[in-house]
Amino acid sequence: MKNKHSEHSEHAEHGDSGGFLGAVERIGNRLPDPVTLFLLGALLVLVLSQLGAWLGWSAVNPTSGVEVVVTPLLSGEGLEWVWTMMVENFTGFAPLGVVLVAMLGIGVAERTGLIAGILGILIRITPRKLVIPGLVFAGVLSSLATDAGYVVLPPLAAAIFVSMGRSPLVGIAAVFVGVGGGFSANLAVTALDPMLAGATQDAARLIDDAVVVEVTANWYFMIASTFLVTLVGWLVTVFVVEPRFDPQEVARQIAVGREATGDDKVEAESSGNGPLFASLASLVLVATGLVLLVVLPGAPLAEVWAQAMVPMLFVLFLVPGVVFGIANGTIRNDRDVARMLAESMSSMGGYVVLAFFCGQFVAWFKESGLGTILAINGIEVLSSWNLPRELLVVAVILLTAGLNLFIGSASAKWFLLAPVFVPLFLGLGVSPELTQAAYRVGDSTTNIIAPLNPYLVIIIVFMRRYVPKAGIGSVFSLMLPYSIALLLVWPIFLLVWSSLGIPLGPDNGPLFLEPMTAG
């Protein structure tokens, strides 16, 4: 029989259990373990693919005219693919290598005490009220390093909040809304911009060969959106998310996290500022060397710096971490470094298991063709509505936000949607740049709650450092307020922007054009 205290602890484990968000969390966490969910989802894909093949589920790509049919994965050929591709689906799961390589360097820096030392300085110089917007802002800017922000920033944000005596889950949420919810926004042009602009231009030229869509087509709007996402993330964190966690639960999370990462031991063994200065000096030297590998004439990383970002981050964490450990005595020989590297990988064992089953689910869903058929049917429905131009923009945002729950890749969705929506909307008087901006807004708003976001599993792993029973329900209840807020505010921001006639980027023409007439 449970006493009142144990009942309170159970209900408070992830924060306030009342209200709608509490219900979302309780229902979500009563589901099986994420490993089981991905396994069941993969098996369901097998069944639906075979059922769809029997029933003749299909859709015609409105651009190419090619019929897309369901691939039956329970057929002889389908089962052959499932079995022979199982290892490749695991090792080829995009976030797996990114997460493990980055966490090697972060793990050493964490275990030597370097991260705790740097965070201590940051906490002392940063006003408490600016920590949250600073984390959201950093998360938005992290898209410069492609997907590395998903791996590097959440554990650092959690550590910052632990140092301040605040819930580490709130820190993870604040930075996650920046990384995922603000993925399309940035102060600079990112690797996503040329991919989207190329597809947009090709699509627009289906009806107008003179259209040119610049890489900077949405740059002004994305700069402004960076601050919008930061503001929305800041307000939702302060007024909705953080108040859910009572002081007793915060103290419990901090204690569990310190026991798991050994922070108490590190703090006891660290002394003085000498080790920190030595590690920061090594950081400057390593960073300088890496920059030279990118910017010097004929530099080997000049054209591939984005692809090399994760290995560079690994070195940026590893070298200063080792220097700090040698200086403060936590590293006495090479065996200590090897042990810390092994401990870092040991702590990621749960993620590796999740990645195996998630990789199968994502690969099977893609191979079946179910996601593509769903997207094409959604396009057909939207195209038949004959909405006013402003509502068409909103409809694209909502359709993209919904499809993002099933098709994770931003570029893959746009390659499918652009050939239909860009020429269709151009004919109705909506510029290609505005259509692309609407797509980017919709794609970002549901990243943080999308089950097929491959980085969602790493967020669960980071949360389990502090709340061992955290599950999908914990992530959804934590991030749903952000997603709803972004889905309400960001489309309005885009409509106001376009109604005022402000260019979305340099050298852009009008956002609303004269509709084309037949013949």
Decide: 322 and 112 in contact? Cβ < 8 Å: yes
420 versus 318: the higher-pLDDT residue is 318
DSSP-assigned beta bridge partners for residue 512: 430
Name the percent of the chain lying above pLDDT 90: 32
Which range (314-328, 354-368, 490-504) has the least confidence?
354-368
The reported pLDDT for the residue numbered 2 is: 43
Decide if pLDDT at 71 tops 60: yes
What tokens were used for 46? 């097998």
DSSP three-state, residue 217? coil
Q: Tell me, yes or no, whether 324 lies in a domain.
A: no
| Of the candidates 77, 87, 75, 74, the residue with the CA atom closest to the CA atom of residue 360 | 87
For residue 8, pLDDT over 50 is answered with no
Please answer whether residues 37 and 43 qualify as being in contact, where contact means their C-beta atoms are separated by less than 8 angstroms.
no
pLDDT of residue 17: 52
In a domain, residue 200? The reply is yes
Using pLDDT thresholds of 50, 70 and 90, give the confidence band for residue 230. Answer: very high
- Angstrom CA distances, 294 to 192, 320, 477, stand at 19, 20, 41
Which three-class secondary structure state does DSSP give residue 308?
coil
Token pair for residue 65? 């005219």
Do the strands 67-69 and 58-60 form a parallel or antiparallel pair, or are they unpaired?
antiparallel
297 close to 88: Cβ distance less than 8 angstroms: no
Residue 267 CB contacts under 8 Å (≥ 6 apart), including other chains: 113, 116
Average pLDDT over residues 495-512: 85
Q: Average pLDDT, stretch 204-214?
A: 80
- Is residue 277 one of the residues assigned to a domain? no
CA–CA distance, 315 with 327 (Å, rounded to integer): 18
Residue 392 confidence (pLDDT) above 70 = yes
- Name the residue with tokens 């402000």: 502
Question: What pLDDT was estimated at residue 504?
Answer: 92
Considering 83-87, 199-203, 497-501, the range whose residues carry the highest mean pLDDT is: 83-87
For the cut 90, the answer to whether the pLDDT of residue 489 exceeds it is yes
Average pLDDT score over residue span 91-113: 80
Does residue 321 lie in a domain region? no
pLDDT above 70 for 85: yes
Half-sphere exposure of 152 (CA within 13 A, CB side): 27
Percent pLDDT > 70 in the chain is 84
- Which residues fall within 8 angstroms of residue 292, CB to CB, at 6 or more apart? 299
Q: Where are the alpha helices (DSSP H) in 71-218?
A: 76-84, 86-91, 94-112, 114-125, 131-141, 148-163, 168-176, 192-204
Which DSSP category does 61 fall into?
A: -
Phi-psi region of 450 (alpha: psi -120 to 50; beta: other; left: phi over 0): beta
Asked if residue 325 belongs to a domain, the reply is no
Beta-bridge partner residues of 60: 67
State in Å, rounded, how far the first CA of the chain is from the last one. 79
Distance CA 482, CA 239 (A): 11
- Phi–psi pair at 60, nearest 5 degrees: -100, 125
pLDDT higher than threshold 90 for residue 386: no
Confidence of residue 310 (pLDDT cuts 50, 70, 90): confident
Q: Are 249 and 15 in contact (CB under 8 A)?
A: yes
Residue 508 has pLDDT above 80, yes or no: no
DSSP state at residue 332: -
For residues 225 and 185, is the Cβ–Cβ distance under 8 A? yes
- To the nearest whole number, what is the mean pLDDT of the chain? 82
What is the Cα–Cα distance from 132 to 126, expressed in whole angstroms? 10
Q: Which of 83-92, 152-161, 167-176, 304-313 shows the lowest mean pLDDT across its residues?
A: 304-313
Name 397's Cβ contacts closer than 8 Å, sequence gap at least 6: 438, 439, 441, 442, 445, 487, 490, 491, 494
Position 256 confidence tier, pLDDT thresholds 50, 70, 90: confident
Quick check: helix, strand or coil at residue 67?
strand
- Per-residue model confidence (pLDDT) at position 75: 93
Q: What's the structural domain count of the chain?
A: 1
The reply to whether 177 falls in a domain is yes
Q: Confirm if 350 and 30 have CB atoms less than 8 A apart.
A: no
Q: What amino acid is encoded at 74 in this protein?
A: L
Please tell me the distance from the alpha carbon of residue 444 to that of residue 32, in angstroms, as a whole number: 28
Supply angle C-alpha 412, 415, 420, rounded to 5: 135
Give the per-residue pLDDT at 13. Answer: 47
Residue type, 258: R
Q: What pLDDT score does 269 carry?
A: 42
In a domain? residue 6: no
Residue 265 has pLDDT above 60, yes or no: no
**SS3 category, 516:** coil
Q: Which domain holds residue 86?
A: 13-270+330-499
Query: What DSSP character marks residue 92?
Result: T
Whether residue 100 contacts residue 251, with contact meaning beta carbons closer than 8 Å, is answered with: no
Average pLDDT of the segment spanning 251-271: 63
Least confident interval from 143-147, 290-294, 401-405? 143-147
pLDDT in the model for residue 369: 85
What are 430's strand-pairing partners? 512
| pLDDT digit string, tens, across residues 35-58 | 887 888 889 999 999 999 999 998
DSSP 149-177: HHHHHHHHHHHHHHHTTS-HHHHHHHHHI
Question: Residues 339-381: pLDDT tens digits?
Answer: 999 988 887 787 788 789 878 887 898 888 887 787 677 667 7
Determine the Cα–Cα distance for residues 213 and 131; give it in Å rounded to an integer: 38
Q: How far apart are CA 53 and CA 135, in angstroms?
A: 47
Whether residue 304 is contained in a domain is answered as no
User: Is residue 9 scored above 60 in pLDDT?
Assistant: no
